[in-house]
Amino acid sequence: MPIDIRQIIRDHQGRNYDLLREHVNPQFARVLRTIGFDRCYVRAEGAYLWDIEGRKYLDMLGGYAVFNFGRNHPDIRRAIIDALEADLPSWVQMEAPLLAGALAAELKKRIPYPLERVFFTNSGTEGIEAAIKFARCATGRPGIVHCEKGFHGLTLGALSLNGCESFRSGFEPFLPHCRQIPFDNLTALEAALSNRDVAAFIVEPIQGKGVNIPADGYLAEAMGLCREYGTLLVVDEVQTGVGRTGKFLATQWDEGCEPDMVVLSKALSGGYVPVGAVLLRRSIFDRVYSSMDRAIVHSSTFHEGAPAMAAALASLAALDDTDAMNNAIRIGAMIRDGVQAMIPRFEFLHAVRQRGLMIGIQFGKPRSLGLRTAWSLINRMDENLFPQAVTMPLLDRHRILTQVAGHRTNVVKLIPPLIISEDDAKWFLDAFEQVMADVHKFPGPVWGVLKDLGAMAVTHRARSETAPVKA
């Protein structure tokens, strides 16, 4: 008898965290339970989730910017079903996959740079690994420059370019010849390139960790420095690409920048089948794939699979059909303006950074003595704790899913589906205002919860520091 997935779902529904704890990742199960994120979601549509009790949630996390066109988009699902029902001969390996060629052509139409070749991957971090290899091979140089607070994935090469120590700890040694510089700092970039041994400068057009937006012209001037010193400019658009910021690429906001490589993934999948792409100049490609015996010098067993290619083609169509980029600009501005208007009223609220529907809400030290005391107390316990005072009640009381934008950033990040409505934006703004009002009541219930979380964090650190290392 064929496996009955629906019956498996029925048999195990509600046991999500038991199964996670017993068989997959008990530490993550513990984290989710501790911060009250241990919800069992059973259905999803568009920008919404429903839990096992039938409660509706607004998804402002978007699977880390995967669901630009909403969850379970019917047209993307139909395209995948059509591909499966066509009985296409996927992964023959010694052939030319039809849908891969069609997708490459469609991607090239949407990117206003002379990037004539496309290499498909299964994820964003695979795209970064490919870009590192391509850059080194094309230039004959070993060096890679990356930025503080950058994030490019968690495989070893990509991790070597990670600007957050919390991800790096325990995985040393990293890829040699990698140099870290401050983001949005052209002086530091020129100094790093000046030895002329750098293959590539790999950079996010907007940093995902913290939603850090560079000054106007930064990428174009960085490109100029790269050209001067013979370095390739690689732009990581894994999270920002496919319409997130109101243009197909966030790089397009910086007029005059023409990168040598662009890495895409996440939203290209449509939320169904993992897929990524590296678009690169023909001159780079020709140096890597320089002869027939090097025709597959870099490849992957599972890239160019028919369902993935179909999902990506349908995602590009959905980008147009939903008018997602214009909606991202309009609704993003509405949320930005709404949060900005609250800053004079709430001392913890310091700034809001926004481009399209990539939004970072920055918190910081308050002015008044009582709140400064609370801030200092929490930060002495754990510097990552304060944003949880926002994300936890947003989920628990208002059924809005958000995230903290990285370690020690004090930023809550919004990367929702690009199809959210004005009503959804109002839902978030009303909830956020209420949460801000509660956080500014000290002492109060929010601070009690944070104090308990902080005490647990201190205890955990103490145990980790004193625990013997087993051989």
Residues 314 and 428 in one domain: no
Residues 84 and 202 in one domain: yes
The domain boundary residue, chosen from 321, 346, 374: 321
Residues 258 and 345 in one domain: no
Is 50 domain-assigned? no
Residues 279 and 309 in one domain: yes
CA distance 169 to 183: 21
Is 10 domain-assigned? no
Is 3 domain-assigned? no
CA distance 92 to 40: 39
Measured in degrees and rounded to the nearest 5, phi and psi for residue 194 equal -65, -25
Is 177 domain-assigned? yes
CA distance 360 to 354: 6
Burial of 268 (C-beta count, 10 Å sphere; 0-12/13-18/19+)? buried
Residue 403, CB-side half-sphere exposure with 13 Å CA sphere: 20
Q: Is there a contact between 198 and 143 (Cβ–Cβ < 8 Å)?
A: yes
Residues 271 and 195 in one domain: yes
DSSP 28-50: HHHHHHHTT----EEEEEBTEEE
Is 86 domain-assigned? yes
Question: What is the pLDDT, as a whole number, of residue 459?
Answer: 54
Q: Which amino acid does the sequence have at 307? A: P
Residues 276 and 366 in one domain: no
What are 262's strand-pairing partners?
235, 279
The tens place of each residue's pLDDT in the chain, 471 residues long, gives: 889 999 999 999 999 999 999 999 999 999 999 899 999 999 999 999 999 999 999 999 999 999 999 999 999 999 999 999 999 999 999 999 999 999 999 999 999 999 999 999 999 999 999 999 999 999 999 999 999 999 999 999 999 999 888 899 999 999 999 999 999 999 999 999 999 999 999 999 999 999 999 999 999 999 999 999 999 999 999 999 999 999 999 999 999 999 999 999 999 999 999 999 999 999 999 999 999 999 999 999 999 999 999 999 999 999 999 999 999 999 999 999 999 999 999 999 999 999 999 999 999 999 999 899 888 888 888 888 889 999 999 999 999 999 999 888 999 999 999 999 999 999 999 999 999 999 998 877 777 777 777 766 655 554 555 555 444
Is 39 domain-assigned? no
pTM confidence score: 0.94
Neighbours of 389 (CB within 10 A): 23
Q: Report residue 42 as tokens.
A: 């059973």
Residues 385 and 411 in one domain: yes
- Reference 439, options 343, 374, 360; nearest CA is 374
The domain boundary residue, chosen from 321, 349, 369: 321
Question: What is the pLDDT, as a whole number, of residue 470?
Answer: 47
CA distance 68 to 429: 20
Residues 157 and 203 in one domain: yes
Interhelix angle 369-381/445-466, nearest 10 degrees: 30
Is 12 domain-assigned? no
Question: CATH number, domain at 218?
Answer: 3.40.640.10
Question: What is the pLDDT, as a whole number, of residue 286?
Answer: 98
Q: Which amino acid does the sequence have at 195? A: N
- Long-range contacts from 420-427, C-beta under 8 angstroms, 24+ separation: 420/47, 420/58, 420/327, 420/331, 420/357, 421/47, 421/331, 422/331, 422/334, 424/47, 424/58, 424/331, 425/331, 425/334, 425/335, 425/338, 427/58, 427/398, 427/400
Neighbours of 84 (CB within 10 A): 13
Q: Report residue 182 as tokens.
A: 């401050």
| Cis bond upstream, residue 443 (ω within 30) | yes
Residues 309 and 418 in one domain: no
Q: Tell me which H or E stretch contains 76.
A: helix 74-85
Question: CATH number, domain at 62?
Answer: 3.90.1150.10
- Reference 363, options 388, 394, 341, 381; nearest CA is 388
Question: What is the pLDDT, as a whole number, of residue 458?
Answer: 53
Domain that holds residue 345: 58-69+323-464
CA distance 135 to 140: 8
The domain boundary residue, chosen from 295, 321, 347: 321
Residues 293 and 375 in one domain: no
Is 8 domain-assigned? no
Residues 291 and 427 in one domain: no
Tell me the longest C-alpha to C-alpha distance in the chain: 71
CA distance 57 to 97: 40
Question: What is the pLDDT, as a whole number, of residue 471?
Answer: 42
DSSP state of 75: H
Residues 264 and 367 in one domain: no
Number of structural domains (the chain) is: 2
